[in-house]
């Protein structure tokens, strides 16, 4: 039976990425060695890292004055690394979910944090709109996509201060105006590679302005200067990331990918809105195209476990919702084919007929 992987992360990868990465585990670039055992300073892997950084710049149209680095520690390390490097006195944060809240907690270790708006009281079912960012803030931080609750900011805000974004779960899902940002970071395990590497895109002019001493490993300038090779980087995830980046280019780039993503999300949301058994969980205008969250309508609540089992038997993997939301979550990352979304819709319709 074909499996349809809707897991929120680590998540689905393209067949292209899996096939090429698997081949490199056996023989990397004709070296007779596995990618799992080669030196990160060998010319073959140095070329991989350089090409991966170049392809990030190409796909996202990164302008001059920015650096691309691959780091360890996941996006959670960036929650402290960003304020360590950028927060001198005060920073502004938008609280739209669990990961935004975690970033706020870390930033408070380094200075004053102004939470400009929060949707926590509504269980993060919408993105706050009417808020102001103080011009005395060192930067404004937001999380573009909220995997647990299924909301997304699919635009690049205008801001009078430095702009920082956690794009872990929707990077490469649409074109981005990089010039508006001073720092973008993203864990790889949604739209890029296996877990273990984190991407950061940093404006050079944003660094070097804080008064504190920064530990060597937590200073972006360390990794920029050494071109992601200050210490041993996550070799295999970077190789896999390069395969994904090649695949994105072959697909036609981010404009094409965004169109595909919008189509996938639209047909699933249409079914949720049509089907008598289900309903969405967040404000319609803030619905994520990456993580589609839905629950049983109240009058059919007793069918929830039954649908979960029905979906699992039909090959749907990872659609159980996060415990803080309940219900179901279908993650439609870039590698998710439309055919899998159509398969999920078909079993939703079949379950409706049976009930």
pLDDT per residue as tens digits for the range 107-150: 999 999 999 999 999 999 999 999 999 999 999 999 999 999 99
From the list 67, 99, 182, 264, the catalytic residue is 99
d(CA 14, CA 267): 21
User: How large is the greatest C-alpha to C-alpha distance in the chain, in angstroms?
Assistant: 65
Give catalytic status of residue 225 as yes or no.
no
Positions of the chain with pLDDT under 70: none
> Is the distance from CB of 116 to CB of 92 less than 8 angstroms?
yes
Q: Which residues pair with 85 in a beta bridge?
A: none
Tokens 């094409």 -> residue: 256
The neighbour count for residue 212, using CB atoms within 10 Å, is 11
The first and second tokens of residue 171, run together, are 């990077």
Residue 40's alpha-carbon distances to 8, 31, 73, 324, in angstroms, are 30, 13, 18, 41
Three-class secondary structure of residue 218 per DSSP: helix
pTM: 0.97
Catalytic position from the list 67, 138, 166, 286: 166
pLDDT at 54: 98
> DSSP letter string over 255-306?
HHHHHHHHHHHHHHHHHHHH-TTEEE-S-GGGB-SSEEEEEE-GGGGGGHHH
pLDDT number for residue 324: 84
Topology of domain 15-251, CATH:
3.40.640
Q: Is 247 in the active site?
A: no
Q: Write down the catalytic residue from 190, 219, 247, 286.
A: 190
For the chain, domain boundaries:
15-251, 253-354
Residue 166 annotated as catalytic: yes
pLDDT at position 306 is 97
- SS3 at position 203: strand
Considering only the top CATH level, what class is 253-354? alpha beta
């Amino acid at each position: 039976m074909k499996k349809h992987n809707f897991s929120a992360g680590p998540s689905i990868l393209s067949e292209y990425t899996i096939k090429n990465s698997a081949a490199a585990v056996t023989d990397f670039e004709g070296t007779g060695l596995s990618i799992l055992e080669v030196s990160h300073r060998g010319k073959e892997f140095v070329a991989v890292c350089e090409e991966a950084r170049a392809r990030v710049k190409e796909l996202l149209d990164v302008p001059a004055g920015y650096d691309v680095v691959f780091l360890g520690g996941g996006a959670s390390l960036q929650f402290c690394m960003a304020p360590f490097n950028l927060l001198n006195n005060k920073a502004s944060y938008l609280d739209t979910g669990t990961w935004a809240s975690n970033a706020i907690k870390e930033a408070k270790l380094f200075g004053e944090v102004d939470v400009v708006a929060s949707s926590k009281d509504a269980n993060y079912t919408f993105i706050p709109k009417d808020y102001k960012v103080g011009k005395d803030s060192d930067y404004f931080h937001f999380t573009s996509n909220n995997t647990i609750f299924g909301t997304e900011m699919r635009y690049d805000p205008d801001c009078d201060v430095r702009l920082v974004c956690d794009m872990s779960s929707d990077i490469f899902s649409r074109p981005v105006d990089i010039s508006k940002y001073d720092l973008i970071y993203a864990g790889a395990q949604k739209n890029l590679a296996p877990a273990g590497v984190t991407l950061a895109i940093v404006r050079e002019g944003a660094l070097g302005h804080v008064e504190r001493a920064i530990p060597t490993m937590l200073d972006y300038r360390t990794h920029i200067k050494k071109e992601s090779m200050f210490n041993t980087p996550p070799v295999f995830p970077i190789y896999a990331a390069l395969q994904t980046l090649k695949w994105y280019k072959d697909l036609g780039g981010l404009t094409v990918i965004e169109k595909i993503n919008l189509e996938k999300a639209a047909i699933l949301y249409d079914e949720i809105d049509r089907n008598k058994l289900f309903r969405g969980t967040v404000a319609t205008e803030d619905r994520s195209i990456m993580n589609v969250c839905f629950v049983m309508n109240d009058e059919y609540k007793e069918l929830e476990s039954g649908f979960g089992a029905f979906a699992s038997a039909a090959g749907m993997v990872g659609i159980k919702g996060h415990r803080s939301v309940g219900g179901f979550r279908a993650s439609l990352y870039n590698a998710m084919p439309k055919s899998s979304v159509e398969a999920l819709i078909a079993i939703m319709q079949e379950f409706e007929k049976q009930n």
